[in-house]
Homo-oligomer: A and B are copies of this chain.
Amino acid sequence: MSETPEDHARHNARMKRMAEARARMQARRTLERGLLIVHTGNGKGKSSSAFGMAIRSLGWGMKVAILQYVKGKWETGERSFFEAYPDLLRFEVMGEGFTWDTQDRARDIAAARAAWERSKAMILDPEIDFVILDELNIVLRDDTLPYEEVLAFLRDRPLTKHICITGRGARPELLALADLVTEFGEVKHPYQAGFKAQKGVEY
Q: Using a CB–CB distance below 8 Å, which chain A residues touch chain B?
A: 1, 3, 7-8, 11-12, 15-16, 18-19, 22, 26, 28-33, 35, 37, 39, 41, 43-45, 47-53, 55-60, 62, 76-82, 84, 99-106, 109, 129-130, 143, 146, 162, 175, 178-191, 193-201, 203
Q: Which of A7, A31, A180 has the most CB of B within 10 A?
A: A180
List 9 interface pairs A-B (beta carbons < 8 Å), by A numbering. Answer: A31-B194, A41-B185, A48-B48, A48-B50, A55-B77, A56-B78, A59-B77, A60-B80, A62-B77
* Nearest neighbor of A40 in chain B, beta-carbon distance: B187
The interface residues of chain B lying within 8 Å CB-to-CB of A99 are 11, 15
The interface residues of chain B lying within 8 Å CB-to-CB of A60 are 77, 80, 199-200
The interface residues of chain B lying within 8 Å CB-to-CB of A56 are 48, 51, 76-78, 81, 199-201, 203
Copies of this protein, total: 2
From known contacts A43-B183, A45-B39, infer whether A81 and B100 are also in contact, taking CB-CB under 8 Å. no
User: Nearest-CB distance from A163 to chain B (Å)?
Assistant: 11
From known contacts A55-B55, A78-B59, A198-B35, infer whether A183 and B191 are also in contact, taking CB-CB under 8 Å. no
From known contacts A1-B143, A175-B188, infer whether A53 and B200 are also in contact, taking CB-CB under 8 Å. yes
